[in-house]
Amino acid sequence: MTMNAISRSQIYVLDQDEALDFYVNKLGMEVNTDQDLGFMRWLTVNLPGDPEREILLEKPGPPALDPATAGQVRELLTKGALGGYLFITTDDARKTHEDLVAKGVEITDEPTERPYGIDFGIRDPFGNRIRIGQMFPRTT
């Protein structure tokens, strides 16, 4: 048996419509799947041209969490103590930073050159942290 790809990642959001607006209209992602499963809304987005790698924008609740646990997750997320992490690459970190500032995205770290590339941090409306980086070519 060989595993060959990470196809989906998940982050918690408090409002899926607000998340959809942020990830699509501010970050430029595309809706991959928006399906009412009855017991939950399966809402995924992906970077343009990369539909095989989806991010599930999941509202805390059933079937994964019982009501009490979902309430605790919402509380921690609201405090910024439970946010998930996403790492995204770009061809031009400084230009991407300028574009996101113009769209009103919350910047947590300014673009900084590091040994691996130039990166900066943003936060979504729910406290999830996102790093956006322009990676330097790997040396072998």
pLDDT at 75: 92
Q: Write out the two tokens for 95.
A: 């230009």
- Tell me the CATH class for 8-135: alpha beta
pLDDT at 26: 98
What are residue 92's DSSP bridge partners? none
Q: Which tens digits make up the pLDDT trace of 32-64?
A: 999 999 999 999 999 999 999 999 999 999 888
Lowest mean pLDDT among 61-65, 68-72, 95-99, 103-107: 61-65
Taking 90 as the threshold, does the pLDDT of residue 78 lie above it?
no
What separation in angstroms does the CA of 17 have from each of 21, 73, 115? 6, 19, 37
Count Cβ atoms within 10 A of the Cβ of residue 88 and give its class: 0-12 exposed, 13-18 middle, 19 or more buried. middle
Give the pLDDT mean for 4-21. Answer: 95
